[in-house]
Amino acid sequence: MAVHVMDHPLIQHKVSVLRDVKTTSKQFRELVSEIAMLMCYEATRDLPLTDKDVQTPLATAHTKVIAGKKLAFVPILRAGLGMVDGVLTLVPNARVGHIGLYRDPDTLQPVEYYCKLPADIEHREVIVVDPMLATGGSAIDAISQIKKRGPKDIKFMCLIAAPEGVEALTKAHPDVEIYIAALDDCLNDHGYIVPGLGDAGDRIFGTK
């Protein structure tokens, strides 16, 4: 399945500022939200449309509107929360589910602590959002949880990815399209993306 690395100049510029160690939490939060909004524009490019006649003040316009039950966004807690405002700016009527996962610092394995998904998620296209795709463990686990509820079309959107994570996610869920703002070099010995931006959750919420 396709891996899309964003080449839009606005996204590249904003990711550069995001990476900077001098960027404050306030700026970081704003940038995460803005980049998520710009990426959402690309990730929704293939949403199915249906015909609709609309009466304008002058005549009937033969138009298109988005078909079906539309979208659900699922942020992976915590850091994924930083992307929710941005994507909802573009698709305000989308439903939002939440999956709580953290990486065990020793094993780097995801530990699940929360899962609440929209009741009708099986009828929606789902976009999972998390700023970081490192080993891929968290994204793989979150998407496996979502698949149990039956949605047919799932995408994954992240700001920074390591090649190791892209490979693992593609192998585990070959049907899931991946949208990435920047594809980095590698992981370090602690499972952090290099050059990356550090710990996304800590930078969004100012916890370190």
Whole-number Å distance between alpha carbons of 166 and 134:
8
Q: Is 202 a catalytic residue?
A: yes
Of residues 176-205, which lie at the interface with ligand PRP (CB under 6 A)?
Answer: 191, 199-201
Q: Is 103 a catalytic residue?
A: yes
* Residue range at the interface with ligand URA (CB under 6 A); choices 6-14, 116-124, 145-153, 187-195: 187-195
Binding partner at 192 among ligand URA, ligand PRP, none, C-beta below 5 to 8 Å by kind: ligand URA
Output the CA–CA distances (angstroms, integers) from residue 30 to 19, 34, 197, in the order listed: 13, 6, 15
Of residues 124-153, which lie at the interface with ligand URA (CB under 6 A)?
Answer: 132, 134
We find the least distance from the C-beta atom of residue 131 to ligand PRP, in angstroms, to be 6
Closest CA to 184 of 133, 142, 139: 133
Q: Is 50 a catalytic residue?
A: no
Closest CA to 161 of 123, 207, 129, 189: 129
Tokens encoding 128: 């999972």
Q: Find the binder of ligand PRP among 17, 102, 147, 153 (CB under 6 A).
A: 102
Residue of 29, 78, 103, 149 with catalytic role: 103
Whole-number Å distance between alpha carbons of 163 and 36:
20
